[in-house]
Amino acid sequence: MGGLQGRLKRHLNGPPKSGSLHWHIDYISAKAVDKSFAVIVTGSRAECDLNLAVAAIPGAEIAAPGFGCSDCRCSSHLYRLAQPVWPDYPGLEIRLPA
């Protein structure tokens, strides 16, 4: 909802070397090699709706129960997919890092 540029930079570059791992995603982005992200322009919180769209992808499996969803009732916001694929979701715009 706020600070999109800073969050995306942190996800792509990992947390600051002197900083601690704070957000759930820090634990992944600090180790991940291949990274891409999607942007959804919306005036409302759509994270849980998008989560349901990802869960509906054939073969999607919860990778870590409770990940990224401490403030909602979802089972997880982290899924494992056999092949990289983006869900069908209104307003989804894929951006690959430069």
State the pLDDT at residue 56. 92
Q: Is the pLDDT of residue 97 over 60?
A: no
Q: Is the pLDDT of residue 1 over 50?
A: no
State the pLDDT at residue 65. 94
Give the residue extent of every domain in the chain.
44-89
Contacts of 76 (CB under 8 A, 6+ apart): 51, 62, 63, 64, 65, 66, 67, 68, 69
What value does the mean pLDDT take over residues 4-23? Answer: 73
Q: Is the pLDDT of residue 69 over 80?
A: yes
Amino acid identity of 85? V
Percent of the chain with pLDDT over 70: 80
